[in-house]
Structure 1
Amino acid sequence: MRKSINGLAAIVEGSFKLDPFNGSLFVFCNRSRDRLKILEWDGDGFWLYFKRLEKGHFKWPGEGEAMTMDLSGEELAILLCGSKVELKLRRNEVNGRRAV
């Protein structure tokens, strides 16, 4: 996760053989899957978004070697919010509530 805009754009062009200027979002994740960066070209410059999870990790598809996938907006949202769903499912349920 040391690369910034120029390094990530070079990966998109060199490794993935894609155009970083086409308006797509390019999402990168670290090995422990608790940090990600999103590279976006908005027409006159790049945006670089960064997110670090304090608990849990992202449910990243195809762990291991570099790969590309086409995701819909909904699929990207699920990927980004997957840890929130996982943490909600881990909560202890409240049992035996009584009104006094």
Structure 2
Amino acid sequence: MLGDISHVDHIYIRTGYTDMRKQLSGLLDIIQYNFKLDPYGNAVFLFCGRKADRIKAVHYEGDGF
């Protein structure tokens, strides 16, 4: 569950389908190689599955994701 994200600089939403079986390492690969962005920056990355009934969020908080 996400905490307070009011301090983040950017929120990125990946459009389309993301395989929700992907774990953190797979999502970090998408951020680095598809978005060409730093996953350790002050941003939140949102991923949606095929049904669009749930999302996964990736946010680095300084001591972990």
TM-score by length of 2: 0.66
Q: Which has the higher contact order (CA 8 A, sep 6+)?
A: 2
- 1:34-45 paired onto structure 2 within 5 Å: 34-45=53-64
Would you say how many aligned residue pairs link Structure 1 and Structure 2?
46
Correspondence 1:32 to 2:51 = yes
1:8-66: CA deviation from partner (whole Å, max 9, x where unpaired): 111000111011000210000012101110001001211xxxxxxxxxxxxxxxxxxxx
Q: Over the residues paired in the alignment, what is the CA RMSD in angstroms?
A: 0.8
Specify which structure has the higher proportion of strand.
2
Residue 34 of structure 1 aligns to a residue in which SS? coil
Report the equivalent of 1:13.
32
Detail structure 1 runs of 4+ shifted over 3 Å in the superposition: none
Residue 43 of structure 1 aligns to a residue in which SS? coil
Report the equivalent of 2:16.
none
Q: 2: CA distance between counterparts of 1:24 and 1:6?
A: 17
Structure 1 residues not aligned, in runs of 5+:
47-100
Q: 1: CA distance between counterparts of 2:42 and 2:61?
A: 6
Larger Rg: 1
